[in-house]
Amino acid sequence: MSKPMTKTQLVATLAEEMGSDKKSASSALDGIINIITKEVSNGGAVTLPGVGKIYCRERPARMVRNPATGEQIHKEADKVVKMTIAKALKDSVNG
């Protein structure tokens, strides 16, 4: 398995794909990240065509176990960010 692509590598590849400079590619990437962050943190969802859907899900309060001590602890309700991968991406990975 190869290493994950860094932001610098992603910006360079995006700039090449756009036929643009790295500064505009970086601005575009930052803009997309900001939009996704705002929308998901406000309880919405963002669909990236061909990639997947990013959304926020609420988890109810529950009892959890400390693996070190085995002690039961009450965990408050919280929110988690989830992503459902698009079928097109799954199919391209599985050939």
Q: Are strands 52-59 and 78-85 parallel, antiparallel or unpaired?
A: antiparallel
Angstrom distance (rounded) from CA 19 to CA 21:
7
DSSP state of 20: S
pLDDT digits (tens, 9 = 90+) for 24-73: 999 999 999 999 999 999 999 999 999 999 999 999 999 999 999 999 99
What CATH number did the domain enclosing 83 receive?
A: 4.10.520.10
Same domain for 35 and 59, yes or no, is: no
pLDDT value at residue 2: 84
Same domain for 17 and 36, yes or no, is: yes
Q: How many domains does the chain have?
A: 2
Average pLDDT over residues 73-79: 94
For the whole model, what pTM was predicted? 0.78
pLDDT value at residue 29: 95
The residue range of the domain holding 52 is: 47-95
Instruction: Name 58's bridge partners.
Output: 79
Angstrom distance (rounded) from CA 85 to CA 51:
6
Phi, psi (rounded to 5 degrees) for 70: 80, 0
Q: Residue 95 — very low, low, confident or very high, per pLDDT cuts 50/70/90?
A: confident
